[in-house]
């Protein structure tokens, strides 16, 4: 590869090499999947030391533009995760941008999905995803509902709408929740842009930088990213197959005086577990005794394939202690960006106001279409079908795990949701396993992304059983088994 270098410039040579490659990747002249020259070879071609080339590659890797694979080489990734605030050799940012850069930029590591793409397997199988199977989205039905709506009431549908959310949709949600034992009304419901916004607004209203939030360890990775971005101090509460170990909560409440406890009691992300009824009651009791709010994230509560549902924490709350959030992302389609929060009292009012100053309102058009879709009974029919399909896929994955994964791998069978949580055999780390598995054509979500503590979780992997048909699940798990055996 010919890279023009200016040996008299004040810019170090490694920066010049990095800048040249960066521009080539961003412009597309080095396509994703391209293998970069070996460092020794490029160093010879350019007449520089090997260390100079290694430093250039390391910068690109830190920014998620390339990925090194042991024994195979360094490959170009898709350029879209480029952190734009990173200064390149020949771009002079204005001073305010430099100040941001001096504060440190977020490094985006390649995702399992990107690693899988770069590996270039002819039939890749992605088990890392956190969403349902897009092939099951009721796209046609939703298009018809939208068209109908725009024909009937275009002005109403295209206005800002109510800042708490479309009232008939809130009433429908209240009605559905009542059937699950949550006594609420449209007045106490706020529609949000997905439940991620519900998490963000709740944390912003209740916590300041440095305040302590208690979370399950492990827990939802993008929840952790959010709490870190808000500068919160995150303390993990251990979990087992019955959810958060609430018995261990009291000393943590006494020691850390948290401002919020965040929990995913149903079909937990990533473990798939459900919190026992006894622990639910204990948790609501402790929240009352220690005057701490609980944020209950019920992201897939309706995706139960067997067994009996435990009462929602919100249903056990005499009023004002538990903040409940759920979403249409997993049960229907994530692109709707519709979630909601149920909460009462002054907190509810603060939340509504915070939502208003953040984004004015969630799309009125989509809320009205969703309301129309739900009321004609299509949502319930879609849920029934989805449950049937996902249940078969869960069973297919459990059978494949039994058949193809070596002894020493532990799983618990989830009664619903999206995920199976794998405890890898002794001595196998998910960081080492992932590139090998991707080369073989299967990706999973590595454990550390779900733990609040920096070095925890290497012996775990999260597998999604909903995003692939049963045949591909079998092939994917067989490939994973091969990769584990290889490492062992």
Name the residues that contact ligand PLP, by CB under 6 A.
Answer: 130, 194-196, 220, 264, 269, 297, 299, 327, 329, 334, 339
> How far is 127 from 60, CA to CA, in rounded Å?
27
Integer angstrom CA distances of residue 305 from 343, 388, 421: 28, 8, 17
Query: What is the DSSP secondary structure assignment for residue 410, as one 8-state letter?
Result: B
Q: How far is the CB of 384 from ligand PLP (least distance, A)?
A: 21
Q: How far is the CB of 258 from ligand PLP (least distance, A)?
A: 19
Shorter beta-carbon distance to ligand PLP: residue 21 or 274? 274
Residue with the CB atom nearest ligand PLP in the bound state? 194
Shorter beta-carbon distance to ligand PLP: residue 19 or 334? 334
Q: How far is the CB of 265 from ligand PLP (least distance, A)?
A: 11
Q: How far is the CB of 463 from ligand PLP (least distance, A)?
A: 14
What is the Cα 212 distance to its own chain's centre?
Answer: 21
Closest CA to 42 of 31, 50, 32, 34: 50
Q: String of b and e for 193-220 (b: at least 16 CB within 10 Å)?
A: bbbbbbbbbbbebbbeeebbbbbbbbbb
Shorter beta-carbon distance to ligand PLP: residue 329 or 363? 329
Q: How far is the CB of 166 from ligand PLP (least distance, A)?
A: 17
Dihedral sign, CA of 316, 271, 231, 351?
negative
Contacts of 100-106 spanning 24+ positions with Cβ under 8 A: none
Shorter beta-carbon distance to ligand PLP: residue 264 or 461? 264
Q: How far is the CB of 36 from ligand PLP (least distance, A)?
A: 33
Shorter beta-carbon distance to ligand PLP: residue 57 or 299? 299
Q: How far is the CB of 339 from ligand PLP (least distance, A)?
A: 4
Q: How far is the CB of 329 from ligand PLP (least distance, A)?
A: 3
Q: Phi then psi for 311, rounded to 5 degrees?
A: -65, 145
Query: What is the DSSP secondary structure assignment for residue 302, as one 8-state letter?
Result: T
For residue 396, give every residue at least 6 positions away whose Cβ sits within 8 Å of its Cβ, in sequence order, or none.
465, 470, 473, 474
Burial class (CB in 10 A: 0-12, 13-18, 19+), 377: exposed
Q: How far is the CB of 263 from ligand PLP (least distance, A)?
A: 10
Closest CA to 143 of 334, 369, 375: 369
Integer angstrom CA distances of residue 248 from 262, 286, 447, 467: 15, 11, 22, 35
Q: How far is the CB of 114 from ligand PLP (least distance, A)?
A: 18
CA angle 285, 288, 292 (to 5 degrees): 120
Shorter beta-carbon distance to ligand PLP: residue 67 or 207? 207
Q: How far is the CB of 214 from ligand PLP (least distance, A)?
A: 16
> How far is 39 from 321, CA to CA, in rounded Å?
58
Q: How far is the CB of 325 from ligand PLP (least distance, A)?
A: 8
Shorter beta-carbon distance to ligand PLP: residue 216 or 439? 216
Shorter beta-carbon distance to ligand PLP: residue 146 or 303? 303
Shorter beta-carbon distance to ligand PLP: residue 15 or 164? 164
Q: How far is the CB of 332 from ligand PLP (least distance, A)?
A: 10
Query: What is the DSSP secondary structure assignment for residue 281, as one 8-state letter?
Result: H
Shorter beta-carbon distance to ligand PLP: residue 13 or 226? 226
CB 49 within 8 A of CB 8: no
Find where tokens 């991707």 sit.
Answer: 438
Shorter beta-carbon distance to ligand PLP: residue 51 or 229? 229
> How far is 296 from 154, CA to CA, in rounded Å?
36
Burial class (CB in 10 A: 0-12, 13-18, 19+), 319: exposed
Dihedral sign, CA of 33, 38, 41, 46?
positive
Shorter beta-carbon distance to ligand PLP: residue 239 or 329? 329
> How far is 179 from 172, CA to CA, in rounded Å?
11
CB 66 within 8 A of CB 36: yes
> How far is 350 from 434, CA to CA, in rounded Å?
43
Shorter beta-carbon distance to ligand PLP: residue 400 or 445? 445
């Amino acid at each position: 590869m010919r890279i023009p270098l200016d040996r008299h410039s004040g810019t170090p040579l490694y920066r010049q090499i990095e800048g040249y490659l960066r521009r080539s990747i961003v412009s597309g002249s080095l396509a994703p999947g391209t293998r970069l020259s070996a460092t020794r070879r490029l160093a010879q071609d350019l007449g520089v030391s090997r260390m100079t080339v290694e430093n250039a590659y390391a910068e690109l890797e830190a920014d998620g533009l390339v990925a090194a694979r042991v024994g195979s080489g360094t490959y170009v990734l898709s350029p879209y995760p480029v952190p734009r605030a990173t200064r390149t050799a020949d771009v002079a940012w204005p001073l305010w941008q430099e100040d941001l850069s001096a504060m440190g930029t977020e490094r985006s590591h390649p995702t399992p999905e990107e690693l899988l793409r770069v590996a270039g397997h002819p039939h890749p199988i992605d088990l890392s995803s956190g969403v349902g199977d897009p092939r099951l989205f009721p796209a046609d039905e939703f298009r018809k509902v939208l068209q109908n709506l725009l024909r009937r009431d275009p002005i109403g549908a295209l206005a800002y709408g109510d800042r708490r959310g479309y009232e008939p949709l809130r009433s429908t949600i209240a009605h559905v929740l009542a059937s699950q034992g949550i006594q609420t009304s449209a007045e106490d419901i706020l529609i949000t842009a997905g439940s991620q916004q519900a998490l963000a607004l709740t944390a912003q209203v209740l916590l300041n930088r440095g305040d302590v939030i208690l979370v399950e360890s492990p827990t939802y990775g993008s929840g952790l990213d959010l709490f870190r971005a808000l500068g919160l101090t995150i303390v993990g509460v251990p979990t087992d197959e019955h959810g958060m170990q609430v018995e261990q909560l009291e000393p943590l409440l006494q020691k850390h005086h948290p401002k919020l406890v965040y929990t995913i009691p149903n079909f937990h992300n990533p473990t798939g577990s459900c919190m026992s009824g006894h622990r639910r009651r204990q948790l609501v009791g402790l929240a009352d005794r220690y005057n701490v709010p609980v944020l209950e994230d019920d992201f897939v509560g309706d995706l139960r394939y067997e067994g009996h549902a435990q009462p929602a924490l919100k249903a056990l709350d005499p009023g004002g202690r538990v903040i409940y959030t759920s979403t249409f992302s997993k049960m229907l389609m994530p692109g709707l960006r519709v979630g909601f929060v149920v909460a009462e009292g002054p907190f509810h009012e603060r939340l509504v106001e915070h939502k208003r100053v953040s984004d004015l309102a969630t799309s009125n058009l989509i809320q009205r279409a969703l309301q129309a879709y739900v009321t004609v009974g299509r949502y319930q029919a879609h849920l029934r079908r989805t449950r049937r399909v996902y249940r078969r896929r869960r069973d297919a994955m459990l059978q494949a795990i039994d058949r193809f994964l070596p002894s020493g791998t532990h799983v618990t069978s989830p009664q619903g949701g999206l995920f199976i949580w794998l405890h890898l055999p002794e001595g196998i780390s998910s960081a080492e396993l992932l590139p090998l598995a991707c080369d073989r054509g299967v990706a999973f979500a590595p454990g550390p992304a779900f733990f609040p503590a920096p070095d925890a979780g290497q012996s775990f992997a999260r597998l999604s059983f909903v995003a692939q048909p049963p045949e591909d699940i079998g092939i994917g798990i067989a490939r994973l088994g091969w990769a584990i055996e290889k490492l062992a």
